[in-house]
Amino acid sequence: MNIRSIFEEHNTVMRAAAELSPSLEEAAAILQSCLASGHKILVCGNGGSAAAAQHFAAELVCRFSENRRALAAIALTADTVTLTATGNDFGFDRVFARQVEALAAPGDVLVAISTSGSSANVIAAAEAARSVRCKVIALTGEGGGALAQVADLALRSPSQVVARVQEVHDVCIHALAQALEASVIG
């Protein structure tokens, strides 16, 4: 694959991903309602999706592009002591679910990110969130995997190529951050 073909593939996937707009508007409304009612957003994922989770939480807590009040968001990927202790004591499949059990309350929203939709620890977090009456928004690849089945709303990137899925997830994260910021400012 040459470099130019990467950009061409990216553009093809991004054009197809524009079809996610109605679902992104629905996700933004769910997150706006969550924050407006005094609840918080929890975010998790592995590897590149862990970075995306931290990125999204930072856009909300700090700011996206405008100065405004901080928005309540926690990346479940950022606390290495909790992650490693939980992984050691309960297994890696429980690293996010255990945090959801500790931190989530009814009315909160979990944003669960998995390019395959098959990450056991992200699915376990979604199941834990549902058990405490939190909504779950999943960002997945094309197939959605088991994660899409336990989510209230699944945003499926129209690709099976991990890099393209992650690129779509980045745009989704920015779209959601911009929408939430606009709702606070406007």
- Residue-level pLDDT at 91: 97
DSSP state string for 30-74: HHHHHHHTT--EEEE-STHHHHHHHHHHHHHHT-SSS------EE
Q: Where are the domains of the chain?
A: 3-185
CATH architecture of the domain with residue range 3-185:
3-Layer(aba) Sandwich (3.40)
Q: Which residues contact 167 (CB under 8 A, 6 or more apart)?
A: 10, 13, 14
At 162-184, the pLDDT tens digits run 999 999 999 999 999 999 999 99
Residue 186 reports pLDDT greater than 80: no
- Residue-level pLDDT at 1: 66
